[in-house]
Amino acid sequence: MMALRPDLAVIAANVAPGARVLDVGCGDGALMAALRDARGVDARGLELEPHNVAECVARGLSVIQGDADADLAYYPDAAVDYAILSQTLQTTKRPDLVLDELLRVGRKAFVSFPNFAHWRVRLSLLWHGKMPVTRLLPIAWYETPNIHHVTVSDFRDLVALKGLKVEGAWFLSGDHAISAAAANWRAEHAVFLLSR
Amino acid sequence: MASAPILTASTVLELAAPLPLDGGQSLAGVRISYETYGTLAADKSNAVLICHALTGDQHVASPHPKTGKPGWWVRMVGPGKPIDTDRFFVICANVLGSCMGSTGPASAAADGQPYAMRFPVITIRDMVRGHVALLDALGIERLHAVVGGSMGGMQALSLAANWPERAGTVLVIASTARHSAQNIAFHEVGRQAIMADPQWRGGDYHAHGKGPEAGLAVARMAAHITYLSEEGMHEKFGRRLQNRDAKTFGFDADFQVESYLRHQGLSFTDRFDANSYLYITRAMDYFDLAEEHGGRLADAFAGSSARFCLVSFDTDWLYPTSESRNIAHALNAAGAPVSFVELSAPFGHDSFLLDVPALDRVIDGFLRQ
């Protein structure tokens, strides 16, 4: 398997072989291609950027241009085993509704997001009083697509509020694993596997 | 890369059996005029059927016999091109009802006279029946791909829905699963222009030398507007005057856009039969793939195992993106592997025929799989 972004590698390693997957916000299709090639997964994608969709089609992947907020509604119930939303939750208009849709379309859902409570982010706010521009959050506040800044603790609250089951959770700093207890201040990325 | 594709064969197939039609009649003595490029593999697995648009023809990558212009899709079809004739055996057939060698209203009926308005009203599915008969004659059970833009896309969808075992991949560009009220309305303007021309003579103009050229030209002018984007038209013509410094206070073609449209209309009459225009536009207006399959578009694709790719253009207001997205959602609901992308191009509906490099990449990548 080619080198995947660490959060994608976690997802790829935990998708059952041969499963049906919908990758929402699939980008250039790296995860889908890896899942297809290494695990025989039937992967479909949804992606907003036309040049990314074209790239996916050129890789032989089945990807529909559309956005997570609007177009998940067109997918039937339980259409796939896993709905995957990697690094996209924080860019949606209504993350809570997108989460509902993911678990309607997929029996389970992987959700990964950058943790805005990481200590570097906190330090930047504390010392400089500025929204951080870090390695993982490299874009200034005025042009970032991230419109809903979420922390590991915030996400855990939302999951509890919705009564969802956490089937797995992985916390990463670079490609190092971070314990669940320390995740909210030490993890750059979080990956949750959820079910109803 | 070779500079010009090599036309492998230009052939007319005479169907041995009458062709049954959606209208309930059947048509005997049907001829299908088609061209092929490249070599059919021994296992016949590399065939690609290209379906042409309303006024298109089988000369997809060879010069048009009447106008001498290059084939209508030479930028896409040829050695080393996205539809690579070094790898694929490309077939393009003139549709039933047209006037470039396949049977249509200008063809002779049993009495030796042109059918004219005695020709039965045909549908997109009838055109595809003709294509399937051709594939049968060529011994091709399953196409690697069926590809079409505009009305060609309708044929590709119809083939996928009605003969699901015949194509492995389906590529539909700037098309729709049904004609909208606006689509029908524009076609009706064109048909009325033809039928209002006294030279049309109820369709029996063949014996009189001159056909309804004025009417056909107006039909083409109206249709041509729908193929361009407003922005593209503005950029190309603006309000610029044609070879003059001031308005003439008359009804000459003062504006460049008028002159352009008149030219488009007139030159069209040299290469197209007016009755064919009536019959083919009617077939497009009757096209509603969902209606054919119990009213639910997803059901049209229930039996399909093909991979689909749909492409639309952001400036196409004839068959806008919403139509392609609608098809993509239906295919999704049917569980079919489907890709859909809206490409950005300034040329309106005609973008599928013009220089849009992103389209080349999508087609090349999709057909490679």
Residue identified by tokens 């039609």 is: B21
Which one of B150, B229, B304, B312 is the catalytic residue?
Answer: B150
Cβ burial of A69 (10 Å; 0-12, 13-18, 19+) is middle
pLDDT band at A99 (very low <50, low <70, confident <90, very high): very high
Answer whether residue A82 is part of any domain: yes
Nearest-by-CA chain A residue for B335: A79
The beta-carbon neighbor of B369 closest among A60, A65, A66 is: A60
- Interchain CB distance below 8 Å, A51 and B358: yes
**Distance in angstroms (rounded) separating the CA atoms of residues B251 and B60:** 38
- Interchain CB distance below 8 Å, A50 and B341: yes
Among residues of chain B, what percentage have pLDDT more than 70? Answer: 99
Residue A49's contacts (CB-CB under 8 Å, 6 or more residues apart) are A27
CATH entry 3.40.718.10 includes domain B7-179+287-368 = no
The tens digit of pLDDT for each residue in B317-367 reads 999 999 999 999 999 989 899 999 999 999 999 999 999 999 999 999 999
Mean pLDDT value of segment B267-285: 97
Q: CB distance from B361 to chain A under 8 Å? A: yes
**Distance in angstroms (rounded) separating the CA atoms of residues B108 and B118:** 11
**Domain residue extents for chain B:** 7-179+287-368, 183-281
Answer whether residue A107 is part of any domain: yes
The beta-carbon neighbor of A57 closest among B325, B329, B366 is: B366
Contact (Cβ atoms closer than 8 angstroms) between residue A27 and residue A47: yes
- Give chain B positions within 8 Å (CB) of A50: 341-344, 358
Mean pLDDT value of segment B120-128: 98
Helix (H, G, I), strand (E, B) or coil at B50: strand
Q: Is the pLDDT of residue B158 over 70?
A: yes
Cβ burial B148-163 (10 Å sphere, 16+ → b, else e): bbbbbbbbbbbbbbbb
Active site residue B10: no
User: The domain containing residue A160 runs over which residues?
Assistant: 6-116+149-195
Nearest-by-CA chain B residue for A47: B341
CATH of the domain at A31: 3.40.50.150
Nearest CA to CA, how far is A36 from chain B (Å)?
A: 13
Answer whether residue A140 is part of any domain: no
Cβ burial A151-180 (10 Å sphere, 16+ → b, else e): bbebbbeebeeeebeeeebbbbbeeeebee
Nearest CA to CA, how far is A58 from chain B (Å)?
A: 4
Look at residues B220, B28, B19, B18 and name the one whose alpha carbon lies nearest to residue B107: B28
Mean pLDDT value of segment B120-137: 98
Residue A2 or A37, more confident: A37
Answer whether residue A133 is part of any domain: no
- Interchain CB distance below 8 Å, B341 and A79: no
Name the CATH code of domain B183-281 (choices 2.60.120.650, 1.10.1740.110, 3.40.50.2020, 1.10.150.110). Answer: 1.10.1740.110
In this prediction, residue B1 carries a pLDDT of 43
In this prediction, residue B4 carries a pLDDT of 56
Answer whether residue A160 is part of any domain: yes
Answer whether residue A185 is part of any domain: yes
**Distance in angstroms (rounded) separating the CA atoms of residues B3 and A35:** 40
Q: Is the pLDDT of residue B199 over 50?
A: yes
- Give chain B positions within 8 Å (CB) of A60: 365-366, 368-369
In this prediction, residue A2 carries a pLDDT of 56
Answer whether residue A85 is part of any domain: yes
In this prediction, residue B2 carries a pLDDT of 45
CA distances (Å), B334 to each of B29, B60, B132, B367, in order? 38, 32, 24, 22
The tens digit of pLDDT for each residue in A33-74 reads 999 999 999 999 999 999 999 899 988 899 999 988 999 998
Angle in degrees, CA B103, B106, B110, rounded to 5: 70
Nearest CA to CA, how far is A44 from chain B (Å)?
A: 7
Contact (Cβ atoms closer than 8 angstroms) between residue B20 and residue B127: no
Q: Which two tokens stand for residue B307?
A: 């991979």
- Structurally, chain A folds into a number of domains equal to 1
Answer whether residue A60 is part of any domain: yes
**ipTM for the predicted complex:** 0.86
The beta-carbon neighbor of B343 closest among A44, A50, A61 is: A50
Helix (H, G, I), strand (E, B) or coil at B295: coil
Q: Is the dihedral of CA B345, B349, B355, B356 positive or negative?
A: positive
Q: Taking the model in full, what pTM does it have?
A: 0.92
Which residue(s) pair with A84 in the sheet? A23, A110
Active site residue B175: no
Nearest-by-CA chain B residue for A73: B329
Active site residue B150: yes
Mean pLDDT for chain B overall: 96
**Distance in angstroms (rounded) separating the CA atoms of residues B361 and B172:** 15
Residue B263's contacts (CB-CB under 8 Å, 6 or more residues apart) are none
Cβ burial of B262 (10 Å; 0-12, 13-18, 19+) is middle
Which residue(s) pair with A24 in the sheet? A46, A85
Nearest-by-CA chain B residue for A55: B362
